Amino acid sequence: MRILLIIALVFLSAFSQTQNTKKRIETNKNSLRSTEILSQQLNKKLDDLANDIINGEKELKNIAISILKTKEQILNLEGNATAANKELDNLNEQNKDLIRTQKQTEDNIIRIIAEDFSLDLILEDGGVDESDEAIVATSVLSKLNNVLKDDLKKMAKNYEQTSNLIKEKSNKIEQIEGRIKEHKRKQNELIALENNQKKAIANLKRDKEIYTKKLAKLQIQQDELRKTLEELAIIAKKEDEAQKKAAEQKSKKQQQASKDGDIKQLGSSYQTSSVKRYTGAKTIAPLDDFVVKQKFGNYVDPIYNIKIFNESVVLRSKTLDAKVKSVLNGKVVFAKQTQLLDKVIIIENDNGIHTIYAHLSQIAPTIKVGVRVQKGYIIGRVKDDLTFEVTQKNYHIDPLEMIAQK
């Protein structure tokens, strides 16, 4: 007995451990899926993430409309549900009685058929006896036979009526059960919609948090890069008080002009950026294979209607740990790790042009301040996204105007 108890305990312990392991594996899988989704959202372009948010808000509205409709349908069904359940109980009871009556009728029909058959046999057997008693008996039996046949007809008619009633009530029961099932189905549908709504709200909240951080990070990084360029005297420092007032007045006019769209401006880069077109010959791109993740110029985000001026472009390499090349001949004037922009290289080129490479994962060992590099020289590596900026004598240039794209 003890051995059996020990075996049972061991089995239960092993089963419990297996179940716990399965739960842990499932939890880890769910956590991994959530991490993958979060990583995908973090790596998306700003405008793609904005589209996700817009689509998420539309989905949330559609779910809310579906929930309202489903609740209305449930209310309408609930109005009949109580009465339907009572009617169903009554019909089931009636059907039970009818089935009992039907069974009794069947038994009576069988009895009458048996008696009728017996009388027919007696009449056939007594046909040769022509005594008075036999004639009387035959007459009585004939009348009794006719009575039994009439009873049989009535019984058959009652049986048919009972069967029809059972069928009719069974159809009603089926219809009522269908309505009750529909009510339950709608309740389950509502639960599923509410669960989807919770998920959609959580996803939308996550995407908005990522998006807001990206917007803020974009401005902070841009300000940091501008500060570095000002310190190196590559671009002029921010305007003096008189220029600042003029810029503020200009900003007010622009804000008034865009009032209908309720467009706000983030940071100072929009007011202080001076832009000119690139007029030189096209040159090579800093990456061999890439897509443009963020374009140069004005960006009005569709979520908060904030207007940002992008002074750089972000190029996403199609290969990890990609080599970054100098797009022009020039001299390195800045090459070091920064707090916000990872590793940054700034190269002074001809005609007052400066090319800026930020968010590098590595700087080539040969790249030092004062070193001259040729076009195409490998200056470092980037993990995935390269921030690329071009200035010329206090003006910003769209880098995509300078580089040749495949």
Please say if the pLDDT value at position 243 is more than 60.
Answer: no
What pLDDT digit, counting tens, does each position of 173-229 carry?
Answer: 677 677 778 778 888 888 888 888 888 888 888 888 888 887 788 888 888 888 888
Please say if the pLDDT value at position 275 is more than 50.
Answer: yes
- Does one domain contain both 146 and 192? yes
- Does one domain contain both 121 and 34? no
pLDDT score for 233: 84
In a domain, 235, yes or no: no
pLDDT score for 10: 57
CATH of the domain at 54: 1.10.287
pLDDT band at 327 (very low <50, low <70, confident <90, very high): very high
Report the number of distinct structural domains present in the chain: 3
pLDDT score for 361: 96
pLDDT band at 336 (very low <50, low <70, confident <90, very high): very high
CATH of the domain at 300: 2.70.70.10
pLDDT score for 271: 42
Q: What's the whole-number mean pLDDT along residues 71-99?
A: 69
- Does one domain contain both 278 and 167? no
In a domain, 228, yes or no: no
pLDDT band at 258 (very low <50, low <70, confident <90, very high): very low
pLDDT band at 128 (very low <50, low <70, confident <90, very high): very low
- Does one domain contain both 167 and 76? yes
Please say if the pLDDT value at position 131 is more than 60.
Answer: no
Q: Which of 193, 212, 231 is the endpoint of a domain? A: 212
- Does one domain contain both 21 and 109? no
pLDDT band at 317 (very low <50, low <70, confident <90, very high): very high
Which comes out higher in pLDDT, residue 67 or 42? 67
- Half-sphere exposure of residue 132, counting CA atoms within 13 Å on the CB side? 0
pLDDT score for 267: 46
Q: Which residue range(s) make up the domain with 104?
A: 47-212
pLDDT score for 269: 43
The percentage of residues in the chain with a pLDDT greater than 70, rounded to a whole number, is 60
- Does one domain contain both 170 and 26? no
What pLDDT digit, counting tens, does each position of 340-386 carry?
Answer: 899 999 999 999 999 999 999 999 999 999 999 999 999 999 999 99
Three-class DSSP labels, the chain: CHHHHHHHHHHHHHHHHHHHHHHHHHHHHHHHHHHHHHHHHHCCCHHHHHHHHHHHHHHHHHHHHHHHHHHHHHHHHHHHHHHHHHHHHHHHHHHHHHHHHHHHHHHHHHHHHHHHHHHHHHHHHHHHCCCHHHHHHHHHHHHHHHHHHHHHHHHHHHHHHHHHHHHHHHHHHHHHHHHHHHHHHHHHHHHHHHHHHHHHHHHHHHHHHHHHHHHHHHHHHHHHHHHHHHHCCCCCCCCCHHHHHHHHHHHHHHHHHCHHHCCEECCCHHHHCCECCCCCCCECCCCCCEEEEECCEEEECCCCCEEEEECCEEEEECCCCEEEECCCCEEEEEEEECCCCCEEEEEEEHHHEEEEEEEECEECCCCCCCCEECCCCEEEEECCEEEEEEEECCEEECHHHHECCC
- Does one domain contain both 26 and 52? no
- Does one domain contain both 276 and 308? yes
pLDDT score for 277: 92
Instruction: For residues 282 and 280, give the distance between their C-alpha atoms in angstroms, rounded to a whole number.
Output: 7
**CB atoms near residue 286 (< 10 Å):** 23
- Does one domain contain both 60 and 23? no
Q: What's the whole-number mean pLDDT along residues 52-71?
A: 86
- Does one domain contain both 270 and 171? no
- Does one domain contain both 273 and 355? yes
The percentage of residues in the chain with a pLDDT greater than 90, rounded to a whole number, is 26
- Does one domain contain both 395 and 278? yes
In a domain, 329, yes or no: yes
In a domain, 323, yes or no: yes
In a domain, 259, yes or no: no
In a domain, 256, yes or no: no
In a domain, 310, yes or no: yes
**CB atoms near residue 372 (< 10 Å):** 11
In a domain, 217, yes or no: no
